[in-house]
Structure 1
Amino acid sequence: MRVRTTSTQRTYRYVRLALIAVLVFLAVGIAVQVARDGALPSVSAAYYTSSRDVFVGALCAVSVALFALSGRSLEQALLDLAAVFAPVIALVPTTVIPTAVPGLAATCPDARACVPDTLLPTVSTSVTSLLVFGVLGIAGALILARVQGTLGRGVGATAAAAALIVIGGGAWWLLDAPGFTRAAHVSAAVAFFVLIATVAALAALRPVGVHDRRRRWLRVAYALIAAGIVGALALNLVAVAATEPTAIAGIPLFFLGEALALALFAAFWVVQTVELWNEPDPSLLA
């Protein structure tokens, strides 16, 4: 007999589907931008183009969705930490060489990659807002967990790790704002994808029953996703280490690496959604 879904279970499914839709929304926005104005040096460079609203909005929505699906497993705790980094990727722009971004009217000192001076006030407002929101968010999460009776070691450890990230980022900003502006975006992006790759690897290592054929296929998918994200990060490292801009078929290597990482994140979320689609509502188990 088929068990009827509950409102809680449907909401859980809808949030998961919404996150997939947001990633499609981001992909379409980037594709339109590239088709209209040509290849970007990186996906993150979309911040400097007409697709900025799509880029920022999508990544902030990803963060909200990850938090909304918060749980008490190790994998979910890592996804919660990834959610802390997502708005940093969205709101702190990557450095660019202005001439490499179609239509960007800005300059950088000594022809180096930079965040143009005209955007520094915007970055300052965004970072200040993120820090305040981060502190309030962590405090609110702890209070909510206490009220709901879910405040255990796992939740406490996750909150402590998130607090360290927020405090560390705030100290970095206050003590070295130029250095933060130059490197925070890349640091947050690397941390985000390392966390996603780790979650995929943990999912691949979960025990499989002798007759659980479906779980075996999921395990292979998770392993491929984890390896692919590591490969994408390695591709970006090669692009950064290259003495001259490198491209494949006219598309910058760094853009390809970032696009591959995002595609694999979307694939991870699709696979996990399929696996957990029929996750029962705890009230039904009770």
Structure 2
Amino acid sequence: MRIRTTSTQRTYRYVRVTILAATLLLIVAVAVQSVTGGVPASLSAAYYTPAGPIFVSALFVVAAAFLALSGRSIEQGLLDVAAVLALAVAVVPTTVESEVCGPAGRCVPSAVVPTVVNNGIAVASVVYVGVLAALVLARVQGTLSRGVLLTAGSVGVVATGFLLWALVAPDAFLALAHNAAAVAFFLLIGAVAALAAWRPQRAPQRFRPAYAAVAVGILFALAGLGATLVAAALGADTTVPVPWVFLGEAVALVLFAVFWVLQTVELWDEPDPRLRAGT
């Protein structure tokens, strides 16, 4: 028996599947690089390898898909902000060890900086236009609410914060912005999973333990990453026996994939494209 679906429902199903496909694309590209060129010091360091174009494009796809799933729920507001953070992770690369870095040891190579500036200006411009367009459309459609205003304001604050940081302290921005955006991104994903796990009205009972495991797992992965980065800053060797930063980021990425599989399965038959009907 064929199950009838609406065009909108099918579209939102495909958007969810696209997020999974982009995540798998990134995993495969990094895996191939690890086999053929050695395991990178971190997942983010794939930016500087042949897997770099996939790394950037996958993050852009995830960001666009998050925004396409836009709704009025608390979870979706968090994912809208996460979309902007994903763009920041994509256009501002992590630092790498290089001879061109001088005494600092690690930096974003000067040859890459013009690309960061160009792409950063483009992304910031589109984010601001998108916020304005979202507010205008919400007003015209009669859907402007406190939640929409809060989400739009949060996105604007995040974009402005990164922009001001880049203008006021460009060296610190290049050194720290990528990690800050990545950690914040995974924290928001963990928060969405936690909401689904511990708010009974958010998810069916059978999904809640899995959401809880994802939320806790992301928290532990980020704590491990933080400890590793502190150890590296203190001079400890964090690449023996494996690159621990890469391992921590890989775990977080896998947990993100698991989270989105759960979301896709749970909401597959959802007639309304919003994650939840909450305001």
TM-score (norm 1): 0.90
Is the CA contact 1:6–1:281 (under 8 Å) kept in the aligned structure 2? Answer: no
Q: Any idea what the Cα deviations from partners look like across 1:37-85, whole Å, max 9, x if unmatched? A: 1111100000111111000000011100000001100011101110010
Q: Any idea what the Cα deviations from partners look like across 1:220-273, whole Å, max 9, x if unmatched? A: 00000000001110111121122322246x420000000000110110000011
**What is the alpha-carbon distance in structure 2 between the residues aligned to residue 188 and residue 165 of structure 1?**
10
Is the CA contact 2:41–2:239 (under 8 Å) kept in the aligned structure 1? Answer: no
Displacement of 1:217: 2.5
Displacement of 1:177: 1.3
Q: Using the aligned pairs only, state the percent identity.
A: 51
**What is the alpha-carbon distance in structure 1 between the residues aligned to residue 246 and residue 156 of structure 2?**
31
The one of 250, 257, 262 aligned to 1:259 = 250
Matching residue of 1:246? 238
Q: Any idea what the Cα deviations from partners look like across 1:84-107, whole Å, max 9, x if unmatched? A: 100110110001113xxxxxxx52
Indicate the larger mover: 54-63 or 175-184.
175-184
Matching residue of 1:36? 36
**What is the alpha-carbon distance in structure 2 between the residues aligned to residue 113 and residue 152 of structure 1?**
45
Displacement of 1:111: 4.9
Matching residue of 2:208? 219
Indicate the larger mover: 83-92 or 166-175.
166-175
**What is the alpha-carbon distance in structure 2 between the residues aligned to residue 33 and residue 182 of structure 1?**
24
Letter matched to residue 47 of structure 1? Y
The one of 149, 164, 181 aligned to 1:156 = 149
Counterparts of residues 166-185 of structure 1 (less than 5 Å): 166-185=159-178
Indicate the larger mover: 145-154 or 51-60.
145-154
Is the CA contact 1:239–1:245 (under 8 Å) kept in the aligned structure 2? Answer: no
Q: Which has the higher contact order (CA 8 A, sep 6+)?
A: 2
SS in 1 for 2:114: helix
Displacement of 1:2: 7.8
Structure 1 segments (4+ residues) deviating >3 Å: none
The one of 113, 120, 125 aligned to 1:120 = 113
Displacement of 1:113: 1.1
SS in 1 for 2:112: helix
Quick check: 1:269 aligned with 2:260? yes
**What is the alpha-carbon distance in structure 1 between the residues aligned to residue 61 and residue 3 of structure 2?**
31
Displacement of 1:144: 1.6
Is the CA contact 1:240–1:254 (under 8 Å) kept in the aligned structure 2? Answer: yes
**What is the alpha-carbon distance in structure 2 between the residues aligned to residue 266 and residue 148 of structure 1?**
34
Quick check: 1:280 aligned with 2:259? no
Quick check: 1:10 aligned with 2:3? no
Residues 2 and 50 from structure 1, CA distance in 2 versus in 1: closer, same or farther, beyond 3 angstroms?
closer
SS in 2 for 1:79: helix
Quick check: 1:165 aligned with 2:158? yes
SS in 1 for 2:199: coil
Displacement of 1:137: 1.1
Displacement of 1:128: 1.2
Letter matched to residue 88 of structure 1? A
Is the CA contact 1:66–1:79 (under 8 Å) kept in the aligned structure 2? Answer: yes
Gaps of 5+ in 1: 99-105
Matching residue of 1:102? none
Matching residue of 1:236? 225
Letter matched to residue 115 of structure 2? T
Counterparts of residues 195-214 of structure 1 (less than 5 Å): 195-207=188-200
Displacement of 1:147: 2.1
**What is the alpha-carbon distance in structure 1 between the residues aligned to residue 107 and residue 3 of structure 2?**
56
SS in 2 for 1:277: coil
Q: Any idea what the Cα deviations from partners look like across 1:111-155, whole Å, max 9, x if unmatched? A: 521101111111111111122111111111111222222111101
SS in 1 for 2:107: coil
